[in-house]
Structure 1
């Protein structure tokens, strides 16, 4: 009997988690940069589910691919194979205009753009400056300097600062550890700063979506989860005073399933029945779902 109840609760938790994710307004991010600057590495490191590899990369124009995955409340638009010349730049800007117009008809917006440049090249072309300025008139732009190794990257950053580009931030980063020798490796850096600056630029209504999708700042997810847990605590406070023994179980169990589903959606855990059983098992199954509710009320 208990086993059947566990499966029932697992199915309910899976269903509720999916419902919570479907309620989240998706965040839309444009990722721009030449081939080989490390866009795919950046996407896979900063966002969960390895979107650049496992997401659906649907071509929507010649130069733009839409990347999304079920259960991740985010849509990425990647400029594939971008090598700038005058003709290509005109095509890209025209395609972005068309994409933005199509999104506007559906009351959607491009929330932020990451323009990626390989810092080790220490150069930015006039075509790129014009494209950055064009994008900045459409959406907030963060200039991301990938593979930022050593003083050369610092000097390049200062050079770009002096250009007074219309960007919201310039961030140097290494998306993954860089091995110099067997004994020395430069650790990855800059990803958390990129997450923080992005959150600061996004409209409040898509903060939840971005927090769900990002996998760098786990403490940020934890703070959001604790805020929701406190809300459930307030909601369930009166239930603990029910005078009839165990009558509160019918109220507390659904509440606990709702709380776990909401927190699971915040953390961005891909949910199936096996995962749901693991979560329920961690608190002892169906009986302790009620007990956990009583504990929170206490």
Structure 2
């Protein structure tokens, strides 16, 4: 660790195999950073540490052995205690557990009191460390409140003297329900912000550094949503209906705008509903007015099946709209603009959809005419052409 990071706080992640711990960690620290996680020699080879860099505001300690059986829990606990003891002996006195993430699976629809007892037993060595329950795989919005209630009831059932400081449903990565339906990343920023806030005084990351880290994660998660929305549009667009004359992209657009707005916290702003409605309205009306589908007929030598042309155009519309949404949301998030400034928003979205839009669609149509382009390849091509914030 660098000297700067010797004052970092540490998060212990506990959860059975299959609950999505690794995916959650990657979503928090970034895929490229999580890949640097390393095992510690000796008994602690079950331990992996992530976030030992100058970017992540805290380190994440992942012990892979917190399973229901006593033996595995004992191994995991011993590994964490050994790491903490060795770190202290090496004068890294801040290598203590400061926050605990208890990961439970949202799709299970249940949390037995015994699981809570096992968790409390495994963490009894850290009686004063705050607990955050992360409900992973919370794909269904309708189930989230029920899952939160299940967690609270399970802790109450065992008469726990240590209750969670927060219960946060999360979707760590884009989850595909069907070829054209997906659940976008959700809850990650709330988990990061809550964890930073719960860190002891003196272990808080510098305000500016933490803010920049959260902004970078919002950008990455929004790009993930934009890529998924583009793919969804490509699949939906492969129908024998002229895109400008159909409302088939409406649900795709609204879902993407809503997901990106939530990632940036715009859903909590005054005027957030009008904000989202305006983006959808400007995008749909503005792009339909361009008659972009006619481009396919205007390009000399272009020979594309109608379904391919429709897919390219549909993907382009949604990719461009997502880029405009990310830009607008970020301006509001940074405090440069207000969510209820509709005139600015209209102008901003129109500008994003006008600058080079036709040229990019034309380029995508040309490249798609080479043949062998399935939905995934078309979506990747379109997304790469329109993405400006990757």
Alignment TM-score, normalising by the size of structure 2:
0.45
How many residue pairs align between the two structures?
Answer: 202
How far 1:82 moved relative to its partner?
Answer: 3.9
| Among 157, 176, 183, the residue aligned to 2:173 | 176
Q: Distance in 2 between matches of 1:101 and 1:202?
A: 20
Question: Displacement, 1:193?
Answer: 1.1
- Listed as ranges, the gaps of 5+ residues in structure 1 are 1-17, 222-298
Whole-Å Cα distance in 1 between the matches of residues 207 and 104 of structure 2? 23
The answer to whether structure 1 residue 27 and structure 2 residue 14 are counterparts is no
Distance in 1 between residues matched to 2:211 and 2:83, nearest whole Å: 24
Encode CA deviations 1:68-119: one digit per residue, 9 max, x unaligned.
Answer: 5454564321122543212222333344344444445542221111111111
In structure 1, the residue matched to 2:143 is 152
Asked if structure 1 preserves the Cα contact closer than 8 Å seen for 2:63 and 2:79, the reply is: no
| Aligned equivalent of 2:198, options 198, 201, 205 | 201
Label 1:111 to 1:91 Cα distance change in 2 as closer, same or farther (>3 A): same
5 Å matches for 1:34-73? 34-48=16-30, 50-59=32-41, 61=44, 63-67=46-50, 69-72=52-55
- How is 1:202-281 mapped onto 2 (pairs within 5 angstroms)? 202-208=199-205, 212=209, 217-218=214-215
When structure 1 is superposed on structure 2, of 64-73 and 129-138 the one drifting more is 64-73
Partner Cα distance (1:61, 1:153) in 2: 35
Q: Report the 3-state secondary structure (helix = DSSP H, G, I; strand = E; otherwise coil) of the residue aligned with 1:199.
A: helix
RMSD (CA atoms)? 3.3
Are 2:100 and 1:113 aligned? Answer: yes
Paired residues of 1:27 and 1:210 also in contact (CA < 8 A): no
Q: Secondary structure at the match of 2:134?
A: strand
Give the aligned partner of residue 258 of structure 1. Answer: none
Are 1:91 and 2:91 matched, yes or no? no
Deviations 1:248-294 (A, max 9, x none): xxxxxxxxxxxxxxxxxxxxxxxxxxxxxxxxxxxxxxxxxxxxxxx
Given that 1:142 and 1:167 are in contact with CA atoms closer than 8 Å, whether structure 2 keeps it comes out as yes
> CA–CA distance in 1 between the matches of 2:148 and 2:176?
23
- Tell whether the 8 Å contact from 2:33 to 2:50 is kept in structure 1 after alignment: yes
Deviations 1:174-204 (A, max 9, x none): 0122222233222111111112211220123
Paired position in structure 2 for 1:122: 109
Match of 2:267 in 1: none
Q: 1:153 Cα shift?
A: 3.9
Structure 1 position 171, deviation (Å): 0.6
- Cα distance in 1 for partners of 2:217, 2:23 equals 22
Report 1 or 2 for greater relative contact order, CA contacts < 8 Å, sequence distance ≥ 6.
1
Q: Map Cα deviations across residues 191-224 of structure 1 (whole Å, 9 max, x no partner).
A: 1111221122012322226974787621899xxx
Measure, in 1, the Cα distance between the counterparts of 2:97 and 2:211: 17
2:197, 2:204 within 8 Å by CA — same for their partners in 1?
A: no
Q: Alpha-carbon deviation of 1:140?
A: 1.3
Q: Label 1:125 to 1:91 Cα distance change in 2 as closer, same or farther (>3 A).
A: farther
Gaps of 5+ in 2: 219-390
